[in-house]
Structure 1
Amino acid sequence: MTIGKSSDRDNRRSSDASSPAEPRPAGQHDTTIGRTLAEARLAAGLTVDEVSSGTRVRVPIVHAIEEDDFSRCGGTFYARGHIRSIARAVGADGDALVARYDEIHGTEPVALAPVSTLDARRIRADRGRPSWTAAMLVAIGAVVLLIAFNLVSGKSGGAAVGAASSPLPSPSAPASPGDTPAQPPAPASSVAPIAAAPADKVTVKLVADSGASWVSALDGDGKSLFQNNLDQGQDQTFTDPKQIKLVIGNGAAVHLYVNGKDLGPAGKDGQVVHLTYTPGDPQAG
């Protein structure tokens, strides 16, 4: 009985040794994304601090990415941007690494909706949050009306005081040029276009006038127009017949000019802003 059991174990071992190795699953690579970036950085002779300074990706996030921890990136969208920026700085293939990231973590496709659906979403979004543009226009209009009222009141009061304190001029005496009351200046337009923009297209200009911000811009077909850091003093202009979709990482740093109108800062300091603009009167969706 003992000999038979030993023989059975030997047969199983020989069968296991002769069986072929299981094939590697599709999408599996020899080195991870973080390991590839770390090796490329060392080969380029760069430190993590130098990579952080060149890419504006914070040092803890660079360390986390090299350890294949993407939880500190703030989402897959920013993770792809950080991978591309770091790969460009260390001389690695950013597109290949992003493709490998998508194989592991999946993608976030941009779903294109009909114009009517976009308008409905924009109306619901406008109802759910305050319209800063409308509030600003109302405030400017109130100031203009107050100035006009004060000018009219001052003119009427001055005429009444003059009539009570001095006699009427003789009909034969010509009126002196100084007797003609000064006309009040015309009130300035509340919102003036900054430049001529085609009415059948959407034109968006971004100016980083108070800091730096990560910016992503997509056209009406979902094609990427820009995906990078916009440093202070830099600007970008985008035009499309249908729409421009923006993601701005630091709303307070970026000044918006849409379809020839100045809309001011995109948001607050450190606020991530998602905006969509179409031809016509600029209303963010």
Structure 2
Amino acid sequence: MSLGALITKSRTAARLSIEDLSKMTNIPGSLLREMEDDNFKKCGGETYARGHLRNIATKLQIDERIFLDIFETEVVAPQKPIRELLSENNVTDPYQEPKNVSWKALAAGSLAALLLFGLAQVIFSIASDDPVI
């Protein structure tokens, strides 16, 4: 059951007309009709829609969590990180994670440098004709 259908069912179960609910909640009747038709665009944003749903649930003596949970799953678009939104609109390049340096490669490079340094020490000490005391 959609959220709008649930609102309609709850309102009719409470034996209220749209005008009655409008007077109780101070939400315009035209907006209540839109909400019952599953159109939440005229609510003024997601925050206002949540507030209207809480108000309606309170007046109909229903747990507001029911309306809000359905609203979150059916209506609210999943939020993406800003970087993803910008890359989707070609405002920025897609984010690429830096490649991790392998510890094995780092250890092998260090070992190779030490071996070269040691080999150079041995070669230069042999090539030197200075007497050893």
Smaller-chain TM-score bracket: 0.5 to 0.7
Number of aligned residues = 79
User: Contact 1:34 / 1:65 at 8 angstroms: preserved in 2?
Assistant: yes
1:95 aligns with: 65
- Opposite residue 16 of structure 2, the aligned amino acid is L
Correspondences of 1:108-257 after superposition (within 5 Å): none
- Opposite residue 101 of structure 1, the aligned amino acid is F
Identity %: 28
User: Contact 1:40 / 1:91 at 8 angstroms: preserved in 2?
Assistant: no
Residues 108, 55 of structure 1: alpha-carbon distance in 2 compared, 3 angstrom cutoff: farther
User: Contact 1:37 / 1:90 at 8 angstroms: preserved in 2?
Assistant: no
Between the aligned partners of 1:41 and 1:70, the Cα distance in structure 2 is 17
2:40 aligns with: 70
Question: Out of 63, 74, 79, which is 1:104 matched to?
Answer: 74
Between the aligned partners of 2:18 and 2:49, the Cα distance in structure 1 is 17
1:85 aligns with: 55
Structure label with greater radius of gyration: 2
Which structure carries more helix by proportion?
Answer: 2
Give the deviation of 1:97 after TM superposition. Answer: 1.2
Between the aligned partners of 2:61 and 2:77, the Cα distance in structure 1 is 24
Between the aligned partners of 2:26 and 2:13, the Cα distance in structure 1 is 21
TM-score with structure 2 setting the length: 0.54
Residues 76, 46 of structure 1: alpha-carbon distance in 2 compared, 3 angstrom cutoff: same
1:191 aligns with: none
**Unaligned 5+ runs, structure 2:** 80-133
1:56 aligns with: 26
Between the aligned partners of 1:108 and 1:55, the Cα distance in structure 2 is 29
TM-score with structure 1 setting the length: 0.26
- Opposite residue 86 of structure 1, the aligned amino acid is I
Q: What are the superposed Cα offsets for residues 32-65 of structure 1, whole Å, 9 maximum, x if unpaired?
A: 1111111111111111111011111111011111
Ranked by relative contact order (alpha carbons within 8 Å, sequence separation 6 or more), the top structure is 2
Correspondences of 1:1-12 after superposition (within 5 Å): none
Between the aligned partners of 1:97 and 1:45, the Cα distance in structure 2 is 19
Give the deviation of 1:105 after TM superposition. Answer: 3.0
Residues 98, 107 of structure 1: alpha-carbon distance in 2 compared, 3 angstrom cutoff: farther
Residues 89, 46 of structure 1: alpha-carbon distance in 2 compared, 3 angstrom cutoff: same
Residues 68, 86 of structure 1: alpha-carbon distance in 2 compared, 3 angstrom cutoff: same
Q: Alpha carbon RMSD of aligned pairs, Å?
A: 1.8
- Opposite residue 100 of structure 1, the aligned amino acid is I
Between the aligned partners of 2:2 and 2:38, the Cα distance in structure 1 is 7
Q: What are the superposed Cα offsets for residues 139-198 of structure 1, whole Å, 9 maximum, x if unpaired?
A: xxxxxxxxxxxxxxxxxxxxxxxxxxxxxxxxxxxxxxxxxxxxxxxxxxxxxxxxxxxx
Give the deviation of 1:84 after TM superposition. Answer: 1.1
Q: What are the superposed Cα offsets for residues 54-92 of structure 1, whole Å, 9 maximum, x if unpaired?
A: 111111011111111101101000001111111221233
